[in-house]
Amino acid sequence: MGVNGNLVTVEFDESVCQNEVAYVIKDGLRLIAEVIRVRGRFADMQVFESTAGITVGDPVELTGELLSVELGPGLLATVYDGLQNPLDVIAARHGFFLPRGEQVEALPRDRAWAFTPRAAVGDRLRAGDTLGVVTEELFEHRIMVPFGVVGAASVVEIVGPGEHTVSDRIAVVADAAGKRRDVAMMQTWPVKRPIRCYAERLRPTEQLVTKMRVLDTFFPVAKGGTYCIPGPFGAGKTVLQQLTSRHADVDVVIVAACGERAGEVVETLREFPVLTDPRTGRSLMERTVIICNTSSMPVAAREASVYTAVTIAEYYRQMGLQVLLLADSTSRWAQALREVSGRLEEIPGEEAFPAYLESVIAAFYERAGCVRLNDGSMGSVTIGGTVSPAGGDFEEPVTQSTLKVVGAFHGLSRQRSDARRYPAIDPLESWSKYASIVPERELRVAREVLAKGHEVQEMMKVVEEEGTAMADFVLYLKAEYLDAVYLQQDAFDPVDGASSAARQRHVFARLARIMAAETDFPDKDTARAFFQTLTQVTKDWNRAAMESAEFGAVEARLESLLAEVARDA
Ligand code: ADP
Ligand code: MG
């Protein structure tokens, strides 16, 4: 046996398979590891914990199982580490950090859940079909035929309504060959294998409304789609993801918090429980699962965390729910891949990332999707990942590999965040392949104004205001206006902070008319003053609830302001 950082090479006699879980036994401790490469009679294993003290000759125990998570009621509202150890249990038992060699059960074994059967003896079901339900937080949590069951299975036994723990037997199913299998409310599933117990994968077409105007209107995301948020440090990636998890039109949010610094993950942990869910007025945590890891955790646990997160996301999708997985930041995950690859002495690709970086990233985002289940209900997993490229350089491999596979790109700009133009999404760099909630023709007008306004602004740096034609100057003012009242959004204002789809459609139609209006101004100062007033009034409008009398009154004011300057309104 050899030891190189977290990489341990072992010699074995029996058979070993790729990604199998093993334990290195050291001083009575069982250190969890995963087989990452098999070469002849040698296996390279990635140890998920500190390898300090491990020496040649220490025994290794192979489990024959792949790295798996526990799936069942009790996941919601929990904070886990990358190996699904619940942090609150660890904290209660051991203080903040899990001692080496300890594993904690992911789902509480002592909690009883009121099970209601939905299937009967003799029913023929398939993997992922519903046997019964329990109430978990706000949801009807489906207890399903284990995902590993192949072909049709018949229900041989099922318990009646009553209280059960996750490990109690609630049913017995027999597969096509007649082989019987006990079913509990909890099942385990290997994290690197997608859960595919659905009838059909659908194209993501339904909008996932985030209530952020710049996203829903300009750079939309679809349910079951993918998007990425690259941005330099401090540009607002984490804040943007928190806003999304709060307001997005989804049932369950899974957060994979991969810390750049431990402090950032702690921030997420501190903030989430106090955030309220606007839909229920209760804690957002009730429909959230957080998988966190910090750079102080071993590299392999960091690598595993995104898979743990996406597997839990797929599990809730299998219940017909809309799930949003937010990974922040995927760069830390990619760094973990780089470290592992380096230890294996693989031929490095660009910036020492493994040559297969692109395919690993693609395979992760591939697990997003909108599906039709066997019972006809629809579920979705939407994946949004932040990328934190060093120095904000989007040309680096992680950003580039991600851009090839995602459906939308929300690029954060340092310039915009420095100017406190939040959310700092760059309207000229970003894009989306999904359909907007507003009509394409209105969008075209607005995009053109933004692009041309920017050109004029660049030009004015050279020729100054005097050298700029009136028509160009007005374009610049219109772009600044649209930016101030629509792209920017005040996350702290109770009304402006979350803009419904209906409201965005209404407001954007009005703004599109302003963008398209031909205006007459005697001079530039008058034009500037006019747009200043318009900006103020529109900001008032943004703060007025759509149902209020004020909303209509301010809109009328906007109309009369425009009529004063429009050439032929
Ligand atoms: P990143 O994750 O990109 O490093 P953060 O999301 O932590 O950056 O944001 C850094 C800081 O910028 C926040 O602490 C906050 O002060 C400010 N900020 C970011 N986004 C917004 C926003 N939408 N509204 C107001 N302030 C914001
Ligand atoms: Mg951050």
Does residue 220 surpass a pLDDT of 60? Answer: yes
What is the share, in percent, of the chain residues with pLDDT greater than 90?
A: 70
Q: What is the CB neighbour count within 10 angstroms for residue 120?
A: 9
Would you state the structure tokens that stand for residue 12, as one six-digit string?
């074995």
Does residue 343 surpass a pLDDT of 90? Answer: no
The pLDDT assigned to 14 comes to 79
Interval between CA 338 and ligand 1 midpoint (Å): 28
Identity (one letter) of the amino acid at 54? I
The pLDDT assigned to 263 comes to 67
Does residue 98 surpass a pLDDT of 70? Answer: no
Interval between CA 436 and ligand 1 midpoint (Å): 25
For residue 372, what is the enclosing H or E element? strand 369-372
Report the distance separating Cα 558 and Cα 511, nearest Å.
10
| Closest ligand to Cα 229 | 1
The pLDDT assigned to 96 comes to 61
Q: What is the pTM of this model?
A: 0.94
Instruction: Report the sign of the C-alpha dihedral through residues 562, 564, 567, 569, in that order.
Output: positive
Interval between CA 230 and ligand 2 midpoint (Å): 11
Q: Is residue 202 within 6 Å of ligand 1 at its C-beta?
A: no
Interval between CA 331 and ligand 2 midpoint (Å): 11
Interval between CA 475 and ligand 2 midpoint (Å): 35
Interval between CA 419 and ligand 2 midpoint (Å): 18
| Closest ligand to Cα 389 | 1
Q: Is residue 239 within 6 Å of ligand 1 at its C-beta?
A: yes
| Closest ligand to Cα 255 | 2
Residue of minimum CA distance from atom 26 in ligand 1: 422
Angle between helices 330-343 and 357-366 (to 10 degrees): 140
| Ligand 1 nearest-atom number relative to CA 241 | 6
Given the structure tokens 């998988």, which residue do they identify? Answer: 291
For residue 43, what is the enclosing H or E element? strand 42-47
Dump pLDDT digits (tens) for 479-500.
999 999 999 999 999 999 999 9
Q: Decide: 312 and 289 in contact? Cβ < 8 Å.
A: yes
Report the distance separating Cα 51 and Cα 3, nearest Å.
8
Does residue 347 surpass a pLDDT of 60? Answer: yes
Residue of minimum CA distance from atom 4 in ligand 1: 234
| HSE toward the beta carbon, residue 70, CA cutoff 13 A | 23
The pLDDT assigned to 440 comes to 96
Interval between CA 277 and ligand 1 midpoint (Å): 20
**DSSP class of 436:** P
The pLDDT assigned to 386 comes to 95
Q: Is residue 72 within 6 Å of ligand 1 at its C-beta?
A: no
Query: Average model confidence (pLDDT) for the chain?
Result: 92
Q: Is residue 231 within 6 Å of ligand 1 at its C-beta?
A: yes
| Closest ligand to Cα 233 | 1
Q: What is the CB neighbour count within 10 angstroms for residue 470?
A: 14
Q: Decide: 54 and 31 in contact? Cβ < 8 Å.
A: yes
Higher pLDDT, 393 or 445: 445
Interval between CA 210 and ligand 1 midpoint (Å): 17
| Ligand 1 nearest-atom number relative to CA 260 | 4
The pLDDT assigned to 490 comes to 96
Q: Is residue 244 within 6 Å of ligand 1 at its C-beta?
A: no
pLDDT band at residue 1 using 50, 70 and 90 as cut-offs: low
Would you state the structure tokens that stand for residue 148, as one six-digit string?
């590993």
The pLDDT assigned to 264 comes to 67
The pLDDT assigned to 569 comes to 45
Would you state the structure tokens that stand for residue 211, as one six-digit string?
């209530």
Q: Is residue 238 within 6 Å of ligand 1 at its C-beta?
A: yes
Within 356-396, residue ranges assigned H as helices are 357-366
> How are strands ordered across the β-sheet holding 60-66?
2-4, 7-11, 42-47, 29-39, 20-26, 60-66
Report the distance separating Cα 424 and Cα 566, nearest Å.
31
Dump pLDDT digits (tens) for 67-91.
899 999 999 999 998 889 888 877 7
Collapsing DSSP to helix, strand or coil, 102 comes out as coil
| Ligand 1 nearest-atom number relative to CA 232 | 3
Q: Is residue 356 within 6 Å of ligand 1 at its C-beta?
A: no
Q: Decide: 506 and 455 in contact? Cβ < 8 Å.
A: no
Q: Is residue 460 within 6 Å of ligand 1 at its C-beta?
A: no
Q: Is residue 233 within 6 Å of ligand 1 at its C-beta?
A: yes
Q: Decide: 135 and 73 in contact? Cβ < 8 Å.
A: no
| HSE toward the beta carbon, residue 351, CA cutoff 13 A | 16
First-last CA distance in the chain: 82
Interval between CA 272 and ligand 2 midpoint (Å): 14
* Rounded mean pLDDT, 369-377: 97
Q: What is the CB neighbour count within 10 angstroms for residue 149?
A: 23
Q: What's the gap between Cα 22 and its chain centre?
A: 30
Report the distance separating Cα 308 and Cα 325, nearest Å.
11
Q: Is residue 423 within 6 Å of ligand 1 at its C-beta?
A: yes
| HSE toward the beta carbon, residue 85, CA cutoff 13 A | 26
| Ligand 1 nearest-atom number relative to CA 329 | 2
Give the strand pairing for 113-117 and 162-164.
antiparallel
The pLDDT assigned to 118 comes to 97
Report the distance separating Cα 29 and Cα 23, nearest Å.
9
Identify which of 228, 239, 264 to mutate to test ligand 1's pocket (most ligand atoms within 8 A of the CB).
239
Residue of minimum CA distance from atom 17 in ligand 1: 236
Peptide bond into 329 cis (omega under 30): yes
> Is residue 131 packed enough to be buried (19+ CB in 10 Å), middle (13-18) or exposed (0-12)?
buried
Dump pLDDT digits (tens) for 196-208.
999 999 999 999 9
